[in-house]
Amino acid sequence: MPHLIAAVTISCTFFLLLTAVTAGDEKLPVEARMNKLITSAKENIVAEKWEDAVKDCEKAMRLGVKLPDKFYFHFGLALFKTGDYERSLISLKRYLKLTGKNGKYYKKALDLVNKFDDKQGEAGHTLKEALTQIENNMVLIKGGCFKMGNRFDDGNKDEKPVHKVCIDDFYLGKYEVTVGEFRAFVNDTGYRTEAEEKGGMHHWNGEEWEQKVDVYWDNTGFLQTERQPVVGVSWNDAQEYIKWLNKKSGKSFRLSTEAEWEYAARSRGKKHKYSWGNGEPSGSIADETTKRTFSRWQIWEGYDDGYLFTAPVGSFEANKLGLYDMTGNVWEWCSDWYDKEYYKKSEKQNPLGPPSGIHRVNRGSCWHCGPELNRVTFRSYIYADYRFITLGFRLAMTP
């Protein structure tokens, strides 16, 4: 089935994340693994082994199953004790939201929350702040001509033939659209995403991808700050956000075309395999003496950037145009319909993609995909109404 094939592209090799548990534990049902980790976390909290408790909780979150409400209190407490106040506040607020005043740890959670500056965390941006931030983060990409497609002879058939494309000047977002920026839209309009209206989004349950009804952009199953890229939004959701943004700003925001995206990711069409250039990534989040030249992904043998899921936008080095996470973090919707044969008949000047189709293109790979899918010429596609915890979007704008 075509949509399942496309879904495999999005999901990549997420099962490798389960290396967080021991080989023996992998034979246990997912629920049993979760309970074992939560029990270990509680024991470490009692022993005041706060860092070990945080590690247990993070492993439990990797499993992708629904966690008990009290988990978020214990995780928030352990994070607080280790000094990770931003994530602590998010976890504690999630607990209070889930349980209300009837929660067993309501008073303790509230006491901890009151220690924070309540203007931080999950409150989001004001409308004016969000609009100003979005406009300030647009980067002018000077137009030019380049050879589009895979020039390394190691790609898929739909990345060929290599063909000449010329692009006019355009603007592209320095970052992917964030949770805070999307929240400003929701707060202003009351908009409900397709995940909220039509049965949730696709999530990893520890053994396979499934559509979960209670998972959506603001309840992803993992902790997000306002600076995380928003996920779980469909192509249709992105269009509604853009309509609102254009009405509020008077600008001409849109999604980039596939050709614009590749031109920008390759720093105006240079012969680059990844957004930083060629060769494997270098550096580590833990090694501040080494320049970090890689963007966000979870699985690349020998590398660990310190994040479980998405990373806050701008956490790693930008490409030569000042664009962040063009490789990794989240897949990004483009405006084009997908056609595997399109490169054989593409227009030379500002190609817009096929006039119609079944799937929409997304580019850039995500936080749990390996080298093959992180190539900037790799073409992914999915139905316009699909939602994944790995899929967001970046804004373009016509001058």
Residue 13 binned pLDDT confidence (cut-offs 50, 70, 90): very low
Percent of the chain's residues with pLDDT above 90: 51
**Domain spans in the chain, listed from the N-terminal domain onward:** 2-113, 128-397
Q: Which of 5-19, 68-82, 268-282 shows the highest mean pLDDT? A: 68-82
- Between 113 and 16, the more confident residue is 113
125 pLDDT above the threshold of 90: no
Q: In this predicted structure, what is the pLDDT of residue 235? A: 98
Q: In this predicted structure, what is the pLDDT of residue 197? A: 93
223 pLDDT above the threshold of 50: yes
CA 31 to chain centre: 26
Per-residue model confidence as pLDDT tens digits over 268-300:
999 999 998 887 665 444 344 333 334 444 445
Sign of the alpha-carbon torsion through 41, 98, 67, 20: negative
Whole-angstrom distance, CA of residue 70 vs CA of residue 34:
13
Task: Say which range, 83-97, 196-210, 220-234, 249-263, has the weakest mean pLDDT.
Answer: 196-210
Q: Residues 115-127: what's their mean pLDDT?
A: 53
Q: In this predicted structure, what is the pLDDT of residue 3? A: 47
Q: In this predicted structure, what is the pLDDT of residue 23? A: 47
In 3D space, the residue among 187, 213, 196, 175 whose CA is nearest the CA of residue 310 turns out to be 175
Q: In this predicted structure, what is the pLDDT of residue 207? A: 66
- Between 209 and 228, the more confident residue is 228
Topology of domain 128-397 in CATH is paralog of FGE (formylglycine-generating enzyme) (3.90.1580)
Q: In this predicted structure, what is the pLDDT of residue 361? A: 98
Please state, as a whole number, how many other Cβ atoms lie within 10 Å of the Cβ of residue 142.
10
Per-residue model confidence as pLDDT tens digits over 143-166:
999 999 999 988 899 999 999 999
Q: In this predicted structure, what is the pLDDT of residue 18? A: 36
Sign of the alpha-carbon torsion through 197, 198, 201, 205: positive
Q: Identify the CATH number of the domain defined by range 2-113.
A: 1.25.40.10
Q: In this predicted structure, what is the pLDDT of residue 95? A: 87
